[in-house]
A and B are shown apart, each in its own frame.
Chain A
Amino acid sequence: MQVGSRYLGSFVAFALFLAFIVMSISEMVCQYPVKLSADSANASTWAIGYLIFTDYLLAFEVLSLVLLVAMIGAIFLAKKEVGE
């Protein structure tokens, strides 16, 4: 591969990184700790599973259909032809 394209890619990626950092630091509203630990009341896998099978059941079933179609499509694309 060309050396110049790697230099250009690293430059663009670093500029993108600096832009993200500047954008996220410049908003001075988010300086309090985020409660992502498991000791907060609802943030547990139990609660997530309960919500998936109650409120988001339709989306869950549709997602299972999407995964099934993706699996069938992948098998259809990747299988060898009959004559080979």
Chain B
Amino acid sequence: MIQSYLDVTLYHYLILSAILFSIGAFGLMTSRNAVKILMCVEIMINAANINLVAFSSYSSPFNLSGQIFTTFSIAIAAAEAAIGLAIFIVLYRLYGTIDVDEIDFLRW
């Protein structure tokens, strides 16, 4: 198999996933807004989904279990985002802010 630089290998997917995951982790560690944190968590979930599809298609190209698993994972992420936004609405009603530095009632 002749390989050129234009071929998309598993490396490209892994590097894209690493970039996305690092952006998500950076936002998760530095942002104070709860909605921003939820968006960064979604970016990290998407990085994991890219890894799932890439490894599935690499290890067994004619077996679609990884892609179906990723479809289910996206649906779970949607449910998580909905619940998270509802929790933020309740937090805003209770505390008047969604700054995660102010909301420290789970801190021991």
Say which residue of B7, B17, B65 sits within 8 Å of A33 (CB atoms): B7
A34 in contact (CB, < 8 A)? yes
User: Which single residue of chain A is at the shortest CB-CB distance from B76?
Assistant: A66
Chain A neighbourhood of B11, CB < 8 A = 24-25, 30-31
Cross-chain contact A30 with B78 (CB below 8 angstroms): no
Cross-chain contact A31 with B19 (CB below 8 angstroms): no
Chain A neighbourhood of B57, CB < 8 A = 34-36, 43
* Given the contacts A48-B64, A74-B83, A77-B90, A59 and B58 also touching, CB distance less than 8 Å: no
Question: How many A-B pairs with Cβ below 8 Å?
Answer: 126
Q: How many residues of B contact A (CB 8 A)?
A: 46
Cross-chain contact B83 with A34 (CB below 8 angstroms): no
A83 in contact (CB, < 8 A)? no
Q: Which of B1-56 contact A (CB under 8 A)?
A: 1, 3, 7-11, 13-15, 17-19, 21-23, 25-26, 29-30, 32, 53-54
Cross-chain contact A66 with B32 (CB below 8 angstroms): no
User: Which single residue of chain A is at the shortest CB-CB distance from B99?
Assistant: A1
Say which residue of A5, A21, A33, A42 sits within 8 Å of B15 (CB atoms): A21
Chain A, interface size category, equals 35 or more
Chain B neighbourhood of A30, CB < 8 A = 9-11, 14, 58
Docked CA distance A56–B23 (Å):
33
Q: 9 pairs across A/B with beta carbons < 8 Å?
A: A21-B15, A24-B18, A30-B10, A33-B1, A34-B54, A41-B62, A43-B64, A52-B71, A59-B72
Residues of B within 8 A of A (CB): 1, 3, 7-11, 13-15, 17-19, 21-23, 25-26, 29-30, 32, 53-54, 57-58, 61-65, 67-68, 71-72, 75-76, 78-80, 82-83, 85-87, 89-90
